Amino acid sequence: WYALESERGPLAASVMGLINRLGTVYELNELASRWTFTGHQQLSIEQALEVKEELETIDRLLAQLEEARKNAKIGLIDLDALGRFADAGELDDLERLKQQVQEMIERAAAEQGLDRSKQGYQLTPKAIRTFQGKLLEQIFSDLAPSKTGRHQAAAVGDGAVELVPTRPFEFGDSVAHLDLPGSLTNTMLRTLAEGGAIGPGSPLRLDQRDLEVHRTRNSPKAATVVILDMSGSMRYGGLYINVKRMALALQGLVQREYPGDFLQFIEMASFARPRAFSELVSLLPKPVTIFDPVVRLRADMADPNIGESDIPPHFTNIQHALQLARQYLARQDTPNRQVIVITDGLPTAHFEDQELYLLYPPHGRTEEATIREARACHREGIMVNVFLLSGWSQSREDIQFAYRLAETARGRVAFAAGNELDRFVVWDYHARRRSIIG
């Protein structure tokens, strides 16, 4: 066909006719091989092809009916095609059942806070809160047997939360926490012990020894920035899905248990970008656009002719993410500041001033730039904790880097499989937050 000089000549027409006949022969051979026929009635080619199409439709409908029987997916059934073989009354019953199932789905979606759009069902704030609550309930119910001994008692001292127990007044205590009924009781007991009178016309004389103040507890604020790796490698094994589950659960924990805390999420790939809570559900790993075994790229991001869209998006820039996290935490008026880095391996991108370096396989230059940023976090009193996910390509170098990064900022390293990440990170946050209170 490709050797023909013209597609309109007689030879081209003959070749096209031959191609069509060969296609018909192939379909007839498929008909004979897939189904067994009996009888003596002969069929023309057109009739045989019609029988083949009808049998294929029946097979497809049988598969749809079997799937609907197993999973109640009535919407999969092609009712128009089924109408060629079923009675009208049976179709009406099936249509009513399909409508009932659809109404049940819509009612359940409304109860769970799902919103239907042209793209399908989407999570509304109500649905996200429901998901958070169920996820947190699962996490902490699974961990309940190991809670004993994990939390210290609340610290007492000058604070904003009054406790029931009291203590004697000391110089410097705030009178705002004075236990007036207890102090008056002490005064009356002392007066009686000294032989004085109590009653109308007998004034009580308070003494400093009588004063009682409530013990108080200090509940300090914590500030946390969570770095979510969305580089290209996070698509393997669906790691990014578990990272997003963790983020939703952690936000639910902070909102429910520690509403005064600061929590910020940062998406990390070739660039780091702050993400609002409402954007977490839609986060996806960046597509891999370079497949060369060795990549050594440098881009001057100060050049007005170079934008982010010109840069391969799937690299891992921990240095930029830490820098952005440090800027957020610098504005928080609390000494309890931490960064949680969730990644699956070594960094492959970093900034040097305005120049962006993309280096793969991972290069020592990128590692040192990342460690320098971790030192800057440490100087500002920011702890960096690393949660290293188990990936298909993880090596000893990945683990050694995670230790270096955490040790530089006096943090910790945790190893977690992807499907356990939400439980590990949320429980670690909960334990550390409670230890701050204590």
Q: What is the pLDDT of residues 174-213, one digit of tens each?
A: 777 788 888 888 888 888 888 887 777 788 888 888 888 8
- What is the tens place of the pLDDT at every residue in 121-130? 666 666 656 6
- What is the tens place of the pLDDT at every residue in 84-114? 777 777 767 777 777 777 777 777 777 766 6
417 vs 80, residue with greater confidence: 80
142 vs 301, residue with greater confidence: 301
Judge whether 37 and 17 are in contact, CB under 8 Å: no
Q: Which domains does the chain have, with CATH numbers?
A: 35-112 (no CATH), 168-217 (no CATH), 222-437 (3.40.50.410)
Residue 79's alpha-carbon distances to 86, 97, 148, 315, 362, in angstroms, are 9, 12, 58, 48, 56
Opening angle at CA 17, ends 13 and 18, nearest 5:
120
- What is the tens place of the pLDDT at every residue in 391-423? 767 788 888 998 899 899 888 888 776 666 666
At residue 156, the pLDDT reads: 47
* Alpha-carbon gap, residue 78 to 319, rounded angstroms: 54
- What is the tens place of the pLDDT at every residue in 220-276? 678 899 999 999 999 988 889 888 888 888 888 888 877 888 999 999 999 999 999
- In eight-state DSSP terms, residue 154 is P
Q: Give the closest residue to 263 by CA, choosing from 339, 209, 335, 160.
A: 339
Coil/strand/helix, residue 119: coil
At residue 149, the pLDDT reads: 33
What residues pair up with 167 in beta bridges, in sequence order? 213
- What is the tens place of the pLDDT at every residue in 288-347? 999 999 999 999 999 999 999 999 999 999 999 999 999 999 998 888 899 999 998 899
At residue 154, the pLDDT reads: 46
**For residue 360, what pLDDT band results from cuts at 50, 70 and 90?**
very high
